[in-house]
């Protein structure tokens, strides 16, 4: 048996460094009692914190030095800080980006539990983009998974030091002291000192190296549903997103970009644009050739006193574009390129048993080809960045980004200043789904700001982002199964082809890989996973769940077709393919799983997959009688350290598909905030149904023509089904939450359509006409 993994080394070194590709979960954790002066210098906190605890959690990339550049054991720079004011307020600096996933809330709950602090008295402070915080790139369901233990240790350390401070104050043994809500109590006498009263004393004490972490039975907040700490500010309009930043004298700019990737202007006339009231300048914007994949596309910037004037000025520009070599791309004909690719053998990335011999000896075979359309992130908030190059050569930027350190690096290069001279403030994000981890907007804003006197907000419109952003690739998949005389699946072939994310970073990359297909958990003795070549003509980026989006659909829909062809129940078919419960380790010979996590701490367990399938089926009332034209479908998938299964009840009338109910079950390990877990799965339902029913970005002659929600439809509230989320109780380490629900939701829907009509769905978006 051989197993070929996608090598992180396939990405250029600067891309691996920029995004942390190949980063392991191993960490070097250091705690220090920081000086108040040092803490205030490196955070946005006001004066008043007298006890400051710093944690350094340095995530190491494979082959990298023990500490990131600029960090040494002698002069460490903390990346997560805890501070305690004399009034008892606890501050925690959040180094991660917040886009609605609830990281701040989970962080506060974890810290407060271990510290025995009153959750209502813990306050988050948003960090700026800076290496002192360690890796800050937020995506791939990593924030809680990677930092949960660090937050626990920070809280436990603070608790231990406060106990020591109280014991020293009372001249008693620490063993006689215990923490209660936001205070330390001396058990024999009942004396109590609040945390604020102990802050000054605690600040003088050494930091324990191995504080006791609480047992699960002692948790007060972890595992309980908690409302988001930003909810009130967001609902009342007080929260600050990228486009909400206002500075004195600020200008506004939009950019006219080449409609075809790699295009350029043949001619340009800005006279009409300059005549628009409010327009103050128009200039050509060079194509920024910074780090691969994050190039500003170039074009022409229109600067005005308000956004409307800038957009009207752009409308008045007269530009004749030379489309360049990518003008050959059209979405309708490109599908034929992908189908041709999967019709022949591809690069083998997983190979066990003898698939060819098993097919030759099979009593029958079942095969199907599936296609999925190109997708946009379509997040509610398009990119918006405020940039300001100051007369003294320093700069500030307010950026709605998932990757603030990399945005800072790229923007500083575009400004032409040292990175140390740029302060990058992280704002809330109105959605992202991976788009704001792709950073063309940061250097573009810097290039515009270099030509503007004072701060400028570079605003992307919805059409800008849909037509000039990054895309989830269109894909074709061919699946084939060999069946023995007893009706058992003995051979499995999965071949996919789609333009690669790697092509965005490395010109000419043709293979997109098999994330989401190579780690299939089926106990099929002969199994092969292949990847076919496909050229890219637009920028391909990561979308929520990345390539598990289409691979999960192909696998799940094919399992439904197998059940239909063999006359078996869908749930029965899934459980039969999974086989006996087992830990899948033999596929990963380097000791790491498909997402780089150590198999020793994050084993892939087919039993956990079985349990989510059984739970979803049970809660949905699987097997109950349904009216004519109705059907139930089930699908499951493992991705991003989480196991998810969905059951969909849908009906079909003519060409209209209506979804009545969805039951989702997820095993994501230890749950910090079940309210956020449920919200993420509910969001996965809306996200996936939008793509399955409507999602399609079209291109013609190289240019993307889809521009707004009237063409790239999202699920309306009236069409949103009744949704029930069931969370599996688990003591495993925290796993993914945001991504795992996407891959199984779409095939669960198509399998429901198959059950209702007897006709398989092999193309997304669904077309029944």
Q: Which helix (H) or strand (E) holds 65?
A: none
The pair of structure tokens assigned to 388 is: 């300001």
Q: For the chain, count helices (H), then strands (E).
A: 19, 34
R_g of the chain, CA atoms, integer Å: 27
* Domain made up of 331-376+471-764: CATH architecture: 2-Layer Sandwich (3.30)
Contact 77, 70 (CB under 8 A): yes
What was the pLDDT predicted at 49?
63
Compute CA distances 223 → 100, 261, 546, 601, whole Å.
19, 47, 28, 21
CA distance 643 to 736: 9
Region 279-300 average pLDDT: 86
CA distance 638 to 644: 7
What was the pLDDT predicted at 557?
98
pLDDT band for position 83 (50/70/90)? Answer: confident
CA distance 140 to 143: 8
What was the pLDDT predicted at 1?
31
Output the average pLDDT for the chain: 89
The pair of structure tokens assigned to 317 is: 């520009």
Region 513-525 average pLDDT: 95
Q: Where are the domains of the chain?
A: 8-230, 251-324+383-459, 331-376+471-764
Nearest alpha-carbon partner for 531 in 335, 349, 334, 370? 349
pLDDT at 593 over 60: yes
| Alpha carbon 651 to its chain's center | 32
What was the pLDDT predicted at 653?
96
pLDDT in tens, 432-484: 999 999 999 999 999 999 999 999 999 999 999 999 999 999 999 999 999 99
pLDDT band for position 54 (50/70/90)? Answer: low
Q: How many other C-beta atoms can be found within 10 angstroms of the C-beta atom of residue 572?
A: 11
Two domains, one topology: 251-324+383-459 and 331-376+471-764: yes
Phi, psi torsion values for 281, nearest 5 degrees = -165, 150
The pair of structure tokens assigned to 48 is: 């008043």
Contact 126, 429 (CB under 8 A): no
Region 261-285 average pLDDT: 97
User: How many CA atoms does the CB half-sphere of 426 hold within 13 Å?
Assistant: 28
What was the pLDDT predicted at 36?
46
Region 277-285 average pLDDT: 97
Region 49-77 average pLDDT: 38
CA distance 2 to 588: 10
CA torsion angle 462 468 470 475 (round to 10):
100
CA distance 665 to 348: 32
What was the pLDDT predicted at 675?
96
pLDDT at 703 over 60: yes
pLDDT at 119 over 50: yes
| Alpha carbon 732 to its chain's center | 21
User: How many CA atoms does the CB half-sphere of 458 hold within 13 Å?
Assistant: 29
pLDDT at 35 over 60: no
The residue with tokens 């039969």 is: 576
Q: Which helix (H) or strand (E) holds 658?
A: strand 656-667
Region 660-667 average pLDDT: 98
Taken in order 109, 115, 118, 121, the sign of the CA dihedral is negative
pLDDT band for position 566 (50/70/90)? Answer: very high
pLDDT in tens, 375-407: 999 999 999 999 999 999 999 999 999 999 999
pLDDT in tens, 624-650: 999 999 999 999 999 999 999 999 999
CA distance 20 to 96: 14
What was the pLDDT predicted at 46?
44
What was the pLDDT predicted at 240?
95
pLDDT at 602 over 90: no
* Domain made up of 251-324+383-459: CATH architecture: 2-Layer Sandwich (3.30)
Q: How many other C-beta atoms can be found within 10 angstroms of the C-beta atom of residue 312?
A: 18
pLDDT at 10 over 60: no
Q: Classify domain 8-230 at the CATH topology level.
A: Aldehyde Oxidoreductase; domain 4 (3.30.365)
* Cα end-to-end distance, the chain, whole Å: 44
Hey, is 213 helix, strand or coil? Answer: coil
């Amino acid at each position: 048996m051989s197993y070929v993994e996608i090598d992180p080394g396939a990405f250029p070194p600067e891309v691996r460094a920029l995004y942390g590709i190949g980063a392991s979960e191993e960490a070097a954790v250091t705690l220090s009692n920081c000086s108040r002066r040092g803490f205030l210098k490196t955070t946005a906190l006001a004066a008043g914190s007298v006890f400051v605890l710093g944690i350094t959690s340095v995530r190491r990339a494979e082959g990298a030095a023990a500490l990131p550049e600029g960090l040494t054991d002698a002069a460490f720079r903390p990346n997560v800080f805890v501070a305690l004011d004399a009034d008892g307020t606890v501050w925690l600096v959040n180094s991660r980006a917040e886009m609605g996933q609830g990281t701040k809330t989970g962080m506060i709950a974890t810290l407060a539990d271990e510290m025995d602090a009153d959750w209502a008295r813990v306050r988050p402070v948003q960090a700026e983009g800076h290496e002192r915080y360690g890796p800050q790139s937020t995506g791939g369901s990593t924030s809680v998974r990677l930092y949960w233990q660090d937050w626990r240790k920070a809280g436990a350390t603070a608790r231990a030091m406060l106990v020591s401070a109280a014991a020293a104050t009372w001249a008693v043994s620490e063993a006689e002291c215990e923490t209660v809500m936001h205070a330390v109590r001396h058990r024999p006498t009942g004396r109590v000192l609040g945390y604020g009263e102990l802050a000054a004393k605690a600040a003088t004490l050494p930091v324990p190296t191995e504080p006791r972490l609480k047992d699960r039975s002692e948790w007060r907040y972890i595992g309980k549903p908690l409302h988001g700490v930003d909810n009130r500010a967001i609902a009342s309009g007080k929260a600050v997103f990228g486009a909400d930043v206002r500075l004195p004298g600020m200008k506004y700019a939009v950019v006219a970009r080449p409609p075809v990737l790699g295009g350029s202007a043949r001619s340009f006339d800005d006279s009409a644009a300059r005549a628009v009231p409010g327009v103050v300048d128009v200039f050509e914007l060079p194509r920024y050739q910074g780090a691969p994949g994050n190039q500003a596309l170039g074009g022409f910037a229109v600067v005005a006193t308000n956004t409307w004037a800038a957009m009207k000025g752009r409308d008045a520009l007269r530009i004749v574009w030379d489309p360049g070599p990518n003008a050959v791309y059209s979405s309708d004909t490109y599908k034929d390129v992908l189908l041709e690719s999967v019709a022949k053998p591809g690069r083998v990335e997983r190979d066990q048993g003898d698939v060819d011999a098993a097919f030759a000896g099979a009593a029958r075979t079942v095969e199907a080809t599936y296609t999925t359309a190109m997708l946009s992130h379509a997040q509610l908030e398009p990119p918006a960045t405020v940039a300001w190059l100051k007369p003294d050569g320093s700069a500030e930027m307010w950026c709605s980004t998932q990757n603030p350190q990399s945005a800072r690096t790229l923007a500083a290069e575009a400004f032409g200043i040292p990175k140390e001279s740029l302060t990058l403030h992280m704002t809330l994000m109105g959605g992202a789904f991976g788009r704001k981890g792709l950073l063309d907007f940061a250097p573009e804003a810097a290039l515009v700001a270099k030509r503007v006197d004072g701060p400028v907000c570079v605003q992307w419109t919805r059409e800008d982002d849909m037509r000039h952003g990054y895309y989830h690739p269109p894909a074709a998949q061919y699946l084939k199964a060999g069946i023995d005389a007893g009706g058992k699946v003995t051979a499995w072939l999965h071949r996919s082809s789609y333009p690669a994310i790697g092509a965005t970073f490395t010109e000419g990359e043709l293979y997109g890989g098999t994330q989401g297909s190579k780690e299939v958990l089926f106990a099929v003795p002969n199994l092969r996973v292949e990847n076919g070549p496909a050229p890219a003509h637009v920028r391909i980026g990561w979308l929520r769940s990345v390539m598990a989006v289409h691979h999960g659909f192909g696998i799940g829909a094919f399992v439904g077709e197998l059940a239909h062809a063999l006359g078996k129940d869908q749930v029965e078919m899934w459980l039969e393919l999974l086989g006996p419960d087992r830990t899948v380790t033999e596929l990963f010979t380097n000791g790491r799983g498909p997402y780089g996590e150590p198999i020793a701490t994050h084993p892939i367990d087919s039993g956990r997959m079985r349990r989510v399938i059984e739970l979803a089926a049970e809660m949905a009332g699987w097997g109950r009688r349904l009216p004519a034209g109705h059907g139930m479908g089930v699908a499951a998938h493992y991705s991003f350290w989480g196991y998810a299964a969905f059951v969909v009840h849908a009906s079909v009338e003519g060409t209209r598909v209506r979804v009545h109910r969805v039951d989702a079950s997820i095993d994501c390990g230890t749950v910090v905030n079940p309210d956020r877990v449920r919200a993420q799965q509910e969001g996965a339902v809306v996200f996936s149904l939008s793509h399955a029913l409507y999602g399609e970005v079209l291109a013609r002659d190289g240019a993307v023509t889809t521009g707004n929600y009237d063409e790239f439809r999202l699920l309306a509230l009236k069409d949103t089904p009744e949704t029930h989320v069931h969370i599996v109780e688990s003591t495993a380490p925290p796993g993914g939450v945001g991504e795992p629900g996407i891959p199984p939701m779409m095939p669960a829907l198509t399998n429901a359509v198959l059950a209702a009509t007897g006709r398989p769905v092999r193309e997304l978006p669904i077309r029944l006409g």
